Chain A
Amino acid sequence: MKKVESIYPNARIPYGTWGSSYFPAWQMSALAEVNIGQFAGEAMSKIMSKRKVQMKNLDYLVTGSTIPWHWKFWTSPFVSSCAGFRLPGYHVEQACATGLKAILLAAAEVQSGSSDTVGVLTFDRTSDSPVGVFPERRSYERTIALSDVWDNFGFDPATGKAMLTTAGLAARKYKIDRKEVDELTFYRYEQYFNSLESGFLNRVLVPMEVLNLQGKVLGTIDSDAGVRKITLDGLRAMRELDSCVTSGTQTHASDGMATMLVTSKDKVKEFTPRPDIDIQIIGRAEVRTLPSLMPEAPVLTIKKLLNQTGLTMDDIAVVKNHNPFAVNDAIFAKEFNYDWHKMNNTGCPLVWGHPQGPTLTRVSMEALEEAVDLGGGYVLIFGCAAGDVGIAAIYKVSEGGKN
């Protein structure tokens, strides 16, 4: 493995101290009916318990979400009290970059010496998203009512375009072929179901029972509900909504949470069951591309990141991304001359959904598990985010992980 210095040399992600809820599609589970902030706090505590992490040993919490939730004002201190341990902390929000951004900010907290062990907790509930009522004196309606998820998906106020439009525009710019996109999508589903059936995802995903007010079980969150096996013919038959974009080749809204830890290199052995596995953050980058070309933003970001780190794609062992559109993967593959069969091996948001806040957190933990299976290596994580933004980071998993 090529030697590259970490941008946060004192920060470590303790192996195996992470976990995520399943991501049931919107309106398909009990998560559609609860305060997701409270759920996330309680779920984090439970996940950490399963990972033998005592919450009392955390000293800071970075939370991340993108959709307003009840009592959001109180951010991390409130969520941590739901986890049973009152911590300081703050909330981060950067659309679909949130899940990765929260990890990077937690690492920065540790690197700064301000905190020793920082919890990362990202979550979102797309179901029944709140409707904001905004007095806008300059609009002819005088008052704007905005449904947070769907109205924002449909309209970027900076460009006037919908998310879906950015995929179509980028597909046309990069001359992406619908046939390839359908095949790519079909392959991604195969990867996910293979991973699910092999039990790999059990290392990341933790089933939860959600209780109602009476303490009875309201529902069990034990699958990425809504994800069904598809056929290539079925994909091909789907109506194109924009160039290369059908309902099959784009992600779907879902609900969920994901959590992990970042701690100092001195403390890491106190948390991980495998102190021999060393996980560092090597680099990070963010780029904004031209208006309404969001799916190409990650490509530009990765180029910048590789340039910063001196690494090439040949140095990367695991590639995994947040791909709300299959077009994203096709553009990435084309630009880096990279075989898209080699990436997203254990599944990806195109298949298991798009709860926004926790998406890239789950992507990260799946990728790190994959790297450990491979015996270590560099892990490239990337994704696009609202506002034509790309985010990317490289983790380094020490060699010998699979042992």
Chain B
Amino acid sequence: MTKSMRQSTLDTLGLGNVIDIFKNGRLPVNASELVEQVFGKESERGALVISGANGIVGAGKMMQLGSRLQPYGIPLIGLDFPGVPDGIGFQYAGLASSFGKKQADEIMSSVIRFNYEGTKLPSLLKKFNPKLLIEAIPEILEIKKSHYKIFRDSFPGIEIKSVTSGFPSSELGVDIYHPAFPHQINKIWEVVESKPSKITQLFWVLGMLPIPVSDNWAFVLDVLFCGLTLSALRYHEATNMPFWKIDKYVRKLFGPNPFRAHDVIGAKGANFLTWSCLHHLSMHYGKLFEPTASLVEHKDGGQNWYPLNHLRPMVNWSVDENELKEFETWILGSLIQMTSLMLHENRSHLTYMNSIGELCAQFRNGINSQIRRLGKENSIKIVDSFHKLFPDASPKAWHPDVFDNLNKPEWQQLYVNAEHDGKIGVITIARESYNWDVNEEMNRAIDWLKAEKIERVILTGDFHLSTQLVGADTNEFFPALNIEKEGFRVSYEWSKTARRLNNEFKTSVGFINGKRCLGGMLELMVHCHYLVSVDDASLGAPEVTLPVVPGMEMCHWTFRKAKSNDWEKLLKLLLTGKSVKASETIGWLTDYAGPMDKAIQITYDIATNDEKALPKRIFNEGKLSGLPTDISGIASQSNPAVKAIFDCIINSCTSDLNEAITIQSKHSGAFMTTKYCQYGFIGGEYTKTMVV
């Protein structure tokens, strides 16, 4: 029987637990089978129809789905009013730059366009046997309903999914697939359906991120993003602070620029959608969501939030400590209250609610993780202070009791989950970059498995939200830019966590199943006794390009496990920052790389049978000798980052394992305070984000 710290997100899609993937030796569903179930057998394939196909959502999704469904020979039908601007054609350049001209041409050759005047479907549509309609027409309830009726009358049994952000499923009478911006590349879909459908599972296996949410007015992303915009607007009206400056403070506090985002999406449409979302929410939950006068004006006028280019801001605004505290209260208080409402209504798995903010609304840290960090009392205190500033915030939409459970695993393991079957444990990471939250949750997951007496563990992504593992979250390095001991702390503490994978389990296997595994995430993975990867994953250590000195022991750990004649490959990896395909790393970085199913099977086999499945590489805990001294063929030592990383490699490798953690952390921390880092990518990000 499988036990888990909290429900896996995969389970919410009807796909079981992650450990089941390893036990069954394959992914829970197969794309070809699901395509057949949804669109019919190859000989009688039905079509996907997107109505409103030239709109920003319709055209974006046509490209995204088209690129995934094209190999299965599914006709992609774009339906729209005659005379609307060509949104699909507009996407071609992006498609070509992502996939190359040849594949872009092939995808576009699957797209069939029909005009539709609103009352009668094109007669030729029948020839294509539509099986799935993704509706992306304007947000007018009656028009949407009559649209569905026309389709149902013509094609009984057709599956209809609406991309609406304006109406709940109960109003529309169809399921909802609410996608996140930007529509060509964002893979998140908030899904409202009574139980996970084959289409949802097909989306998952095609690499999308379907996220089940409950059926309410406005979905999680909209509550968070529109709510954040509304909070910023209230601050604007209370203090006159211009939108551009509020954006800077919101970015510093949370990460997003709500006003800039509206302008980038297209103010006219985005203003309406934000207003519409808030308007409907305010109808149900009161003034907490009531659009402000300036939003109404921008909705009606369709104007941008940022000044025109010739009126770039002239007078600077800054706030003192008290004003900043008030700003935080306006924004955070409002968002905490809105989150309490969503939690009260069980709108989604907590990991989803948290991740939607990060993956779709540019939150640096998800709202749940922020609340968790604040704790119950502080969160309630902030909302109380917000109510003093905005007494109209509806008490009926405030549910402080939802924070009673902050200590429960659902709250404590937002990013990292652990499962086991009594013998093998699986730790899954649902965040693409490693931060303090992930670090703490990793430790709790390891503690839990240890308490459950599990000695064999697989470390992997969650097969859902983390489609890749990109490395350390560089936002966490900001304090280290000026304080060396902060850099040391990050490096040392995170390395300590990583070492637990090596020290505290009989067998640990890192499994890389995404597109790439880089930097800090790769450093974490290499601490496992074995490293298995799908063969086409890119593995790399891009730290030198930022530049930083790798902090989680990449500079010596990998050398200790590689043969000396492979050290040059590791040096190239570390000193050039160039990634390599996993298939090229067997024996010196990974222990196995192969196709997905095979890699899954090997991983479980190793976790179960150790060396019987695959010999373990020797791990040299002593001082290494014979490291190359001349790297001129690899990278130039006149590059200060190259020199710093090479120094770190030499010094940490020529120490024993016990000393090496401190040595590497010292190198890493010291380099972060240098001008190279301060004026590099991280310093630049810090200036852009934190210097307001």
Q: Give Cα distance in the complex from A49 to B235, angstroms.
A: 11
Give the residues from 262 to 316 in chain A that come closer than 8 angstroms, CB to CB, to chain B. none
Residue B144 CB within 8 A of the other chain: no
Q: Does B185 sit at the interface, judged by CB under 8 A?
A: no
Q: Is A209 a contact of B237 with CB atoms below 8 Å?
A: no
Interface flag for A7 (CB, 8 Å): no
Chain A residues within an 8 Å CB radius of B240: 45-46, 48-49, 53-55, 83-85
Decide if B314 touches A56 in the complex (CB within 8 Å).
Answer: no
Instruction: Say yes or no for A393: interface residue by CB 8 A criterion.
Output: no
A209/B242 in contact, CB under 8 A: no
Residue in A42, A54, A215 whose beta carbon sits within 8 Å of that of B238 in the complex: A54
* Cross-interface CB contact of A209 among B238, B293, B307, B315, cutoff 8 Å: B315
Chain A's closest residue to B312 (CB) is A213
A72 touches B (CB below 8 Å): no
A208 within 8 A of partner (CB): yes
Q: How far is the CA of A42 from the CA of B238 in the complex (A)?
A: 16
Q: Once bound together, how far apart are the Cα atoms of A85 and B293, in whole Å?
A: 10
CA of A45 to CA of B241, assembled, Å: 7
Contact B315 A210 (CB under 8 A): yes
Contacts of B316 in A (CB 8 A): 208-211, 217
A42 to B315 alpha-carbon distance, docked (Å)? 6
Q: Judge whether B317 is part of the interface by a CB distance below 8 angstroms.
A: yes
Please, which residues of chain B bring their CB within 8 A of the CB of A56? Answer: 237, 293-294
Residues facing A in B230-257 (CB within 8 A) are: 236-243
Q: In the bound complex, do residue B294 and residue A39 qualify as a contact, i.e. CB atoms below 8 Å apart?
A: no
Could you say which residues of chain B place their CB within 8 Å of the CB of A236? none
Whether B236 and A82, one on each chain, are in contact in the complex, defined by CB atoms closer than 8 angstroms, is no
A49, A55, A213 interface centre (most CB from chain B within 10 Å): A49
The answer to whether the Cβ of A162 comes within 8 Å of any Cβ in the partner chain is no
Tell me the B295-329 residues at the A interface (CB within 8 Å): 297, 307, 311-318
B residues 270-306 near A (Cβ < 8 Å) are 293-294, 297
A34 adjacent to chain B (CB < 8 Å): yes
Q: Report Cα–Cα, A217/B314, bound state, in Å.
A: 9
A318 interface contact, C-beta 8 A: no
Q: How far is the CA of A55 from the CA of B294 in the complex (A)?
A: 11
Most chain A beta carbons < 10 A, residue from B243, B312, B315, B318: B315
B237, B242, B314, B317: the one contacting A54 at CB < 8 Å is B237
Instruction: Tell me if B297 and A86 are in contact (CB < 8 A).
Output: yes
Q: Which residues of B contact A211 (CB under 8 A)?
A: 312-316
CB atoms of B315 and A215 under 8 A apart: no
Chain B positions within 8 Å of A34 at CB level = 314
Residue of B242, B311, B316, B317 with highest tally of chain A CB at under 10 A: B316
Flag whether A143 is at the interface (Cβ < 8 A).
no
A43 to B314: give the CA distance in the assembly, Å: 9
Q: State how many angstroms separate the Cβ of B416 from the closest Cβ of chain A.
A: 39
- Cα distance A208–B315 when bound, in Å? 7
Query: Which residue on A lies nearest to B237, using beta carbons?
Result: A56
Q: Cα distance A60–B240 when bound, in Å?
A: 16
* CB-CB under 8 A for A210 and B297, given A54-B240, A56-B237: no
Bound state CA distance, A55 and B293, in angstroms? 12
Inside 8 A of A85's CB, which chain B residues have their CB?
A: 240, 294
Q: Using a Cβ–Cβ cut-off of 8 Å, how many residues does chain A contribute to the interface with B?
A: 26
Q: Mark A26-49, 1 if CB is under 8 A from B, else 0.
A: 000000001100110011011011
Residues of B within 8 A of A83 (CB): 240
- Give Cα distance in the complex from A117 to B342, angstroms: 40
- The answer on a CB contact under 8 Å between B313 and A215 is yes
B42 to chain A: closest CB distance in Å?
Answer: 57
Which residues does chain A contribute within 8 Å of B241, judged by CB atoms?
49
Let me know if B314 and A42 touch, CB within 8 A: yes
Please report the C-alpha to C-alpha distance between residue A210 and residue B317 in the assembled complex, in whole angstroms.
Answer: 10
- Cβ-defined contact, B238 with A39, below 8 A: no
Residue in chain B with minimal CB distance to A36: B314
A50-65 near B? 1/0 per residue, CB < 8 Å: 0001111000000000
Closest Cβ of chain A to B248, distance in Å, is 9
- Which residues 83-127 of A have a CB within 8 angstroms of B? 83-86
Instruction: Indicate if the CB atoms of A46 and B314 lie closer than 8 Å.
Output: no
Q: B residues 417-463 with Cβ under 8 Å of A?
A: none
Taking CB atoms, residues of chain A closer than 8 Å to B313 are 42, 211, 215
CB distance from B645 to the nearest CB of A (A): 33
The interface residues of chain B lying within 8 Å CB-to-CB of A209 are 315-316, 318
B237 with A42: CB separation less than 8 A = no
A window 206-260: CB within 8 A of B: 208-211, 213, 215, 217
> Which one of B237, B294, B311, B317 contacts A38 once the chains associate, using CB atoms below 8 Å?
B311
CB <8 Å contact, A84 and B242: yes
- Residues of the B chain whose Cβ atoms lie less than 8 Å from the Cβ of A39: 314-315
Residues in A neighbouring B238, C-beta threshold 8 A: 54
- Closest beta carbon of chain A to B468's beta carbon, Å: 33
Q: Which residue of chain A lies nearest to B248 when distances are taken between CB atoms in the complex? A: A215
- Whether the Cβ atoms of A35 and B317 lie closer than 8 Å is no
Smallest CB separation, B440 vs chain A (Å): 37
Residue of A nearest to B323 (CB): A49
Chain B residue numbers with a CB within 8 Å of A45 are: 240, 242, 315
Contacts of B294 in A (CB 8 A): 56, 85
Chain B, range 383-399, C-beta contacts under 8 Å to A:
none
Bound state CA distance, A48 and B242, in angstroms?
Answer: 12
A49, B239: Cβ atoms closer than 8 Å? yes
**A54 vs B293: C-alpha distance when bound (angstroms):** 13
With known contacts A54-B240, A55-B240, A84-B236, A38–B314 Cβ distance under 8 A: yes
| Docked complex: A191-210 residues within 8 A CB-CB of B | 208-210
A contact residues around B315 at 8 Å (CB): 39, 42-43, 45-46, 208-211
Chain A residues positioned under 8 Å from B236 (CB to CB): 84
Q: How far is the CA of A43 from the CA of B315 in the complex (A)?
A: 6
Taken together as a complex, chains A and B put the C-alpha atoms of A85 and B242 apart, in Å, by: 10
How far is the CB of B232 from the nearest CB of chain A, in Å? 13
Q: How close is B338's CB to chain A, nearest CB, in angstroms?
A: 23
Chain A residues with CB under 8 A of B297: 86
Taking the closest CB of chain B, its distance from the CB of A251, in whole angstroms, is 26
**A-side contacts of B311, CB under 8 Å:** 38, 82
A49 to B240, CA, bound (A): 6
Bound CA span A171–B237, Å: 52
A106 to chain B, nearest CB (A): 19
Alpha-carbon distance between A337 and B318 when the two chains are bound, in angstroms = 49
B contact residues around A38 at 8 Å (CB)? 311, 314
Complex Cα distance A55/B240, Å? 6
**Cα distance A35–B312 in the bound complex, in angstroms:** 11
| Bound Cα distance from A217 to B312, whole angstroms | 13
Chain B min CB distance to A376 (Å): 30
Least Cβ–Cβ distance between B315 and chain A, in angstroms = 4
State the CA gap A71–B553 with chains docked (Å).
Answer: 61
Query: In the bound complex, how far is the Cα of B238 from the Cα of A54, in angstroms?
Result: 6
Residue with the greatest number of chain A CB neighbours at <10 A, chosen from B240, B307, B318: B240
Query: Could you give, for residues 199-243 of chain B, a 1 whenever the CB lies within 8 Å of some chain A CB and a 0 otherwise?
Result: 000000000000000000000000000000000000011111111
- Report the separation of the CA atoms of residues A347 and B294 in the bound assembly, to the nearest whole angstrom: 40
Q: How far is the CB of A333 from chain B (nearest CB, A)?
A: 39
> Which chain B residue has the least Cβ–Cβ distance from A86?
B297
Per-residue contact bits, chain B 605-643, to A (CB 8 Å; 1 contact, 0 not):
000000000000000000000000000000000000000
Rounded to whole Å, the gap between the CB of A133 and the closest CB of chain B is 22
Report the separation of the CA atoms of residues A43 and B317 in the bound assembly, to the nearest whole angstrom. 9
Q: Nearest-CB distance from B329 to chain A (Å)?
A: 16
Chain A neighbourhood of B307, CB < 8 A = 82
- Further contacts, 4 of them, CB under 8 A, given A48-B240, A217-B316: A42-B242, A53-B240, A56-B293, A211-B316
Question: What are 17 of the A-B contact pairs (CB < 8 Å)?
Answer: A35-B314, A42-B313, A42-B315, A45-B242, A45-B315, A46-B315, A48-B240, A49-B240, A54-B240, A55-B240, A56-B294, A82-B307, A84-B240, A85-B240, A85-B294, A209-B318, A217-B316
Ranked nearest first, the 8 interchain pairs of A and B with the lowest CB-CB distance are: A209-B316, A42-B315, A49-B240, A45-B240, A55-B240, A49-B239, A56-B237, A84-B242
Name A residues whose Cβ lies closer than 8 Å to a Cβ of B: 34-35, 38-39, 42-43, 45-46, 48-49, 53-56, 82-86, 208-211, 213, 215, 217
